[in-house]
Amino acid sequence: MSDSRLQQALADKPQVWGGWITGPTFLGPDEFAHAGYDYVGFDIQHGYLDDADVAQVLRRMEHLPIATAVRLPSAAAAAPIGRVLDAGADAIIVAMVDRPEQAAEAIAATRYAPTGIRSFGPLRASLGIDPAALADRVNVFAMIETAAGLDAVDEICAVPGLAGVYVGPADLAISLGDEVVKAASRPKVRDAIVRVQQAAAAAGIVAGIHAGDGITGKELAALGFQLITLAPESQALRRGAIAHLAEAQGRA
C-alpha cells in the first residue's frame, strides 16, 4: 500500500491546508475537496457527530481528492479510534495530551499486536488487509492545548511513532490565563505556540495548529507550521452567505 493522502501532501508541500467538519454531512468534505483544500478534519470532540457517523462519511469519501483526519477527545477508548481508521482516516488528532504516556497510548490504539492494541477489522476493501501497511499509513497527532502539555512538549514530541503535535490555541489560552478571542495573536499564547513549533522541529515531526481563518493561517505558516486548519464548514458557509447577501443588496 502506498502512503496515505495526508502523508503524500506533507511530503510534497511546505504547508497543507485543512477545513473542519462538525456535523454529519457529506456536503462539507465535498466542497472543501473541490475548493482545493489538502485535508478535512472531523470533530468528534466538539462536533455533532460520533465515530460511527464519521466512519460512514469516510467510507463515502474514498474517491474524493482530499486527506482526512479525525479529532477524538482522548485515547482512553481504543474502539472509536480503530473504527475511524478502519473506514480510512489518514490521521487521528487526540485532544488534551498533557503527558508523553497519553501520546503513547494514542499510538498504541493505531497499531496491532504486539506493538499496539488495535483490533483488526478493515471496513474499506481498497485499504487491503496487511496489518503493517494499515498501521503505517496512519499519522497520530497529539494536541498541545494546556499549560501541562506545554511544559511537557519536548517529552511528548519525543514519543516514538508520533507524527506530530497539533496546537489548540483557544484551550491553550484559557489554560495560560489569557483571552480566547484571537488567541493565536495574543503575545503570551503566541510565545507558547512558537515553543511548540520549535519543539516539533527539533524532534523532526510535524507542527499542526487550528488557525480559524486564512489571515491567521498565513501568519502561522510563516512561523513554520505545516498542518493548518483554516475554518469549519459553518464558518465557510456563513462567510459565503454574507457575501451573497451583500452582493444582492448592493453592499459588496
Domain range annotation of the chain: 5-248
DSSP structure class, residue 189 = H
Check: CB of residue 42 under 8 Å from CB of residue 57: yes
Establish whether 63 is a catalytic residue. no
pLDDT given at position 162? 98
pLDDT given at position 125? 86
pLDDT of 15 over the 90 cut: yes
Closest by CA position to 236, among listed 214, 204, 210: 214
Residue showing cell 504486539: 114
Count other C-beta atoms under 10 Å from residue 190's C-beta: 17
Check: CB of residue 228 under 8 Å from CB of residue 217: yes
Active-site hit among 46, 63, 210, 244: 46
SS3 (DSSP) at 194 = helix
d(C-alpha 135, C-alpha 2), whole Å: 12
d(C-alpha 11, C-alpha 34), whole Å: 21
pLDDT of 232 over the 70 cut: yes
**pLDDT tens profile 172-229:** 999 999 999 999 999 999 999 999 999 999 999 999 999 999 999 999 999 999 999 9
- 5-248 folds as TIM Barrel (3.20.20)
Write phi, then psi, for 129 (nearest 5 degrees): -130, 15
The strand ranges marked E within the chain are 16-21, 39-43, 67-72, 91-94, 139-144, 164-167, 206-210, 227-232
Check: CB of residue 46 under 8 Å from CB of residue 73: no
Closest by CA position to 141, among listed 194, 88, 200, 185: 200
Write phi, then psi, for 80 (nearest 5 degrees): -60, -35
Res. 1 pLDDT band, cuts 50 70 90: low
pLDDT given at position 123? 85
DSSP structure class, residue 152 = T
Residue 57's identity, in one-letter code, is V
